[in-house]
Amino acid sequence: MESTIVKINNNLKELNKYGSPIYIYDNDILKNRIDNISKFREELEKELDGSKVSIHYSSKANNNPAILKAVKESGLYVDAMSPLELDLDKKCNFNNEEILYVCNNISKEEMKLVHDSNILICLDSISQVESWGELFPNTDIMVRINPGTGGVGHNKKVVTSGVESKFGVCEDNIEELLKVIKKYRLNLVGIHQHLGSLFLDDKVNNYMDGVKEGLRIIKEHFDGISIVDLGGGFGVPYKKEEEPLNLTKLAKTLSNELNKFIKDYPSVKEFKFEIGRYIPCEAGIIMGEVNAIKCENGVYWIGTDIGMNELVRPSMYNSYHEVTLLDKRNTKEVKTNICGNICESGDVIGRDRLLTIPKVGDKILVHNAGAYGFSMASNYTGRARPAEILLFDNKVKLIRKRETIESMEDDIVW
């Protein structure tokens, strides 16, 4: 398989037509990660006696229809967290049973939309169950619990288990939850938990602590549910020294616990996972241009057109993204800070990176930008969200146009 860099170099002239910066997704890598997850699904299902394993791609990571269609083609399912995601999922031909609506703090209007679409909903507080029950008594629901332990995540802001998390119903409140479910004769078909985003092999123990705790809570408090949803969090290496998640080992570890659970709790017929980041992350690169180079107070700064509005992860989570230059200049490598073009001190992509000093106009690449990249992009300080490109069969396929001043002004009521 040719590397993404070779493909970018082969197609540079064409890519330049779409402005800068641009998100570029390598279809070969995307397909490979989808295959890995499909294999994980099969391996785990084989280990479990008769229970189904469903993977719902968590489209919050990247909801471009090109990604959704690749997921659909592979036979995996999808989740939606907003009306737009639901609409995109439907337009990419996922049928109702393949979509799960996972939400928190939504309006009654949004509940009506989900209900009218005949999509299973996962609610995440007693208050939301009450609202749903008033509107739609006698219907199927899933509920998200907060197991209290086993939180995982690359940053505190994405850990979703424990007292600091806004999500789910904690064990102490389950009795109250069951009363509300009974009051509206709701049919609780499944329990959901999501422990946080991004664990690798070194944190699998932590993740499994959360899984075990969730399963214990289900056994102790809920009768006859048929679905257990264990959420997402499957990580990818962002740094060169990190190893990819061992999915075969994880399937084994999970199956040991899940089989023990099924013995005591035979009504469960399906285990769901909502995997986001793992699928598109490593396929994506954001390619920008160097606009300025300076050395101030002994520190080299490479000023680029990749601002925090295009890729917010470094400034929001302090996340590490590998940065490389497409053209290697014949200068010696020095420690540099790489930053964007937004008027904020936090608009920094990476610090202390060894790079050759580029020239203005050189192309710069920020790697592993396929998940929570474009999907978190904004128009902050009036900058356009970039075009998205799929590199397919070594050719450039435009999958989202770059915004223009006109399109950004379109919704303004003057």
Ligand X SMILES: Cc1ncc(COP(=O)(O)O)c(C=O)c1O
Q: Name the site residues for ligand X (rule: CB under 6 A).
A: 58, 60-61, 102, 158, 194, 197-198, 231-234, 274-278
d(CA 324, CA 312): 18
State in angstroms the smallest separation of the CB of 278 from ligand X.
6
Q: Are 58 and 276 in contact (CB under 8 A)?
A: yes
Residue type for position 151? G
State in angstroms the smallest separation of the CB of 15 from ligand X.
27
Q: Which long-range contacts (CB under 8 A, 24 or more apart) does 357-360 make?
A: 357/293, 357/300, 357/329, 357/331, 358/290, 358/293, 358/302, 358/325, 358/327, 358/329, 359/290, 359/293, 359/329, 360/290, 360/291, 360/292, 360/293
Nearer of residues 348 and 376 to ligand X, judged by Cβ:
376
Residue 187, beta-bridge partner list:
140
State in angstroms the smallest separation of the CB of 131 from ligand X.
19
Nearer of residues 166 and 269 to ligand X, judged by Cβ:
166
Q: Are 141 and 132 in contact (CB under 8 A)?
A: yes
111: phi then psi, degrees, rounded to nearest 5: -60, -40
CA–centroid distance for 296 within its chain: 37
Nearer of residues 60 and 383 to ligand X, judged by Cβ:
60
State in angstroms the smallest separation of the CB of 239 from ligand X.
17
Q: Which sign does the torsion angle of CA 23, 27, 30, 34 carry?
A: positive
Nearer of residues 231 and 288 to ligand X, judged by Cβ:
231
CB-side exposure of 252: number of CA atoms within 13 Å? Answer: 5
Nearer of residues 79 and 388 to ligand X, judged by Cβ:
79
Nearer of residues 205 and 331 to ligand X, judged by Cβ:
205
State in angstroms the smallest separation of the CB of 281 from ligand X.
8
Residue with tokens 């509940």: 111
d(CA 185, CA 179): 10
State in angstroms the smallest separation of the CB of 79 from ligand X.
7
Nearer of residues 72 and 144 to ligand X, judged by Cβ:
144
